[in-house]
Amino acid sequence: MNKSELVDGIAETSGLAKKDAESALNALIEVVQKAVAKDDKVVLPGFGSWSRTDRSARIGRNPRTGEPVNIAASKGVKFTAGAAFKSAVK
């Protein structure tokens, strides 16, 4: 499912116009991105949660040559599915 299909599904399910559904989805994405960037955890009970993770610096290997490569520390995003979401998928 891509974004336009998701917007169609939101519009159909909620009774909103497609334009309003897309605005709501874009607002949700923006709010989640800003909150996680500030190191806040975003929790939607029954659906899941997003949080920021820290990856420490490490040494990796170049798969082509086998030489060691320094990999810098970075930040990532983790999504954990909620219990209700997991049971709905089973």
Q: What is the pLDDT along the chain (90 residues), one digit of tens a residue?
A: 999 999 999 999 999 999 999 999 999 999 999 999 999 999 999 999 999 999 999 999 999 999 999 999 999 999 999 999 999 998
**Contacts of the segment 74-77: beta carbons below 8 A, 24+ positions apart:** 76/52, 77/36, 77/50, 77/51, 77/52, 77/53
pLDDT at 16: 95
Phi, psi of 25 (to 5 degrees): -65, -45
pLDDT at 90: 87
Q: DSSP secondary-structure letter at 60?
A: E
CA distance 16 to 32: 21
pLDDT at 64: 96
One-letter amino acid for residue 68 of the chain = P
